Chains A and B, each alone.
Chain A
């Protein structure tokens, strides 16, 4: 049996994290962390197939965390999907300079999120 791919989800909002987990846990192994700091700690030990990250968080925000991720050998090539609200357009541009594969606008639709993740991780799989 194929082992599920790991997705690191980073968001300081409880409902967001829960919704992400609920939607993705069927097909993937989700590691849900509520801060950029903790996410960086995790990335020292593990290598997920994808990172889903909220742009705006208190303490260490998404952009800063992304910058650090891109600075590190061991995780700089992991694909990243950012979660953002419409108004943080500038930060979307900023993050795409740091290389993201997609972004999802919050509040997000769960099925839409799953589709975007599948597009990156299972491009050959056609959703019925």
Chain B
């Protein structure tokens, strides 16, 4: 395989670039974070490239001594040995064999001033992590000559979603093809996940095995629906254990299941937090008089009593555009949450209680 080489002066990396042919191109990804490594590997493999991983600078140096890599993506900040030090050692080692790999720094901080320091320290290029579609495509085309495999055929926004424990291919297989809808499902999974672990434990501890079985059955499906396959598999094991009467299995595994479930919910929460756009702090229009408020709330309740939950939710949303007393606002917020979770009975009761409260406050 052809590897054109120019002398690469550390100070002048814009000329004499090493360009690699797509065929047989070997890539090494170095990052101490397993999730980042996985993302990088999957994205690069989508281009038909051969990818290997190393979890530290030291590990990378060892690998490079034994094998030739054409491109090395290296996280510049790692515990023990950082990327820059590792890069310099690798350049020295490979320089002796006359086979310099292209070194690309992975950085969470891709500003201009950082760029200069990378280029001065043995890297030919840098890219922000986690790797995203466009930047990666540009970078690869910059250094690799020839046809690469077509990239990912998944819808563009889905390619950038990365949540620990979630397999996006599975989520897509269940029919999610719209990013807005998928986020809605994630939000529901999160809201539901705030209360379900306690519920599961309660069922089991009071001996309601049937109830527990039904709940884990639901957890299995729900998790698969959003691509949380590990939880789905675990839930399935519990479901089967209940089915065959294997109480001992559940006794010894329930804590692990609930811990994993809570962790998954937390990962989702973090993901949703990041995606939240800054809401404009709207100037609330005006106060709403007590009589009007009462009328609006009764109206919302009426919709709900007639099974028009979405209409009720909209009416509550409208009420919340007005300046309200904090307690009322909080309660309406809770009612909205119940409606989102399809807990219409609970929402109805809360609306009734709120109505009564406002009536008697007169």
Contacts from A to B (Cβ < 8 Å): 12-19, 22-23, 31-35, 38, 42, 45-46, 56-58, 85, 87, 106-113
A128 to B221, CA, bound (A): 29
The segment from B12-20, B126-134, B173-181, B351-359 that touches chain A is B173-181
Instruction: Offer 16 A-B interface pairs, CB within 8 angstroms, sorted by A.
Output: A13-B222, A14-B188, A14-B191, A14-B222, A14-B341, A16-B225, A22-B181, A33-B344, A34-B343, A34-B344, A38-B344, A56-B217, A58-B211, A106-B221, A107-B224, A113-B175
Chain B residues positioned under 8 Å from A38 (CB to CB): 344-345
Beyond A106-B221, A109-B173, A110-B175, whether A22 also contacts B342 by CB under 8 A is no
A107 engages B174 (CB within 8 Å) = yes
Q: Which 5 A-B pairs have the closest CB atoms?
A: A110-B175, A15-B222, A107-B224, A34-B342, A13-B218
Q: Chain B: residues with CB nearer than 8 A to chain A?
A: 173-176, 178, 181, 184-185, 188-189, 191-192, 211, 214-215, 217-218, 220-222, 224-226, 232, 243, 306-307, 309, 341-345
Nearest B-chain residue to A34, judged by Cβ: B342
Task: Determine whether the beta carbon of A12 is less than 8 Å from that of B218.
Answer: yes
Which one of B192, B214, B306 lies within 8 Å of A14 (CB-CB)?
B192
* A113 to B175 CA separation, bound complex (whole angstroms): 10
Q: Of B188, B214, B345, which contacts A15 at CB under 8 A? A: B188
Cβ-closest chain A residue relative to B308: A31
Please determine whether B173 and A15 come into contact, CB atoms closer than 8 angstroms. Answer: no
Name the residue of chain B whose CB is nearest to the CB of A54: B218
Contact (Cβ within 8 A) B225 A107: yes
What is the distance, in angstroms, from A91's C-beta to the closest C-beta of chain B?
Answer: 12
A35 and B345 contact, CB distance less than 8 A: yes
Complex contact B342–A19 (CB within 8 A)? no
Measured CB to CB, the closest approach of chain A to B314, in angstroms, equals: 14
Contacts of A56 in B (CB 8 A): 214, 217
Are the CB atoms of B342 and A32 closer together than 8 Å? Answer: yes
Beyond A45-B306, A58-B215, A107-B174, is A15–B344 a contact (Cβ under 8 Å)? no
Roughly how many angstroms separate A11 CA and B26 CA in the complex, as a whole number?
50
Report the minimal beta-carbon distance from A21 to chain B, rounded to whole angstroms.
9
In Å, the complex CA distance between A32 and B215 comes to 19
CB distance from A113 to the nearest CB of B (A): 8
CA distance A33 to B222 in the complex (A): 16
What's the nearest-Cβ distance from chain A to residue B96, in Å? 56
Taking a contact as CB atoms under 8 Å apart, the answer to whether B174 and A85 are in contact is no
Who on chain A is nearest to B243 by CB?
A87
- Identify 12 new A-B residue pairs, CB closer than 8 A, beyond the known A15-B225, A34-B344, A38-B345: A13-B218, A15-B188, A22-B184, A38-B344, A46-B307, A87-B243, A107-B174, A107-B221, A107-B232, A109-B173, A109-B174, A109-B175
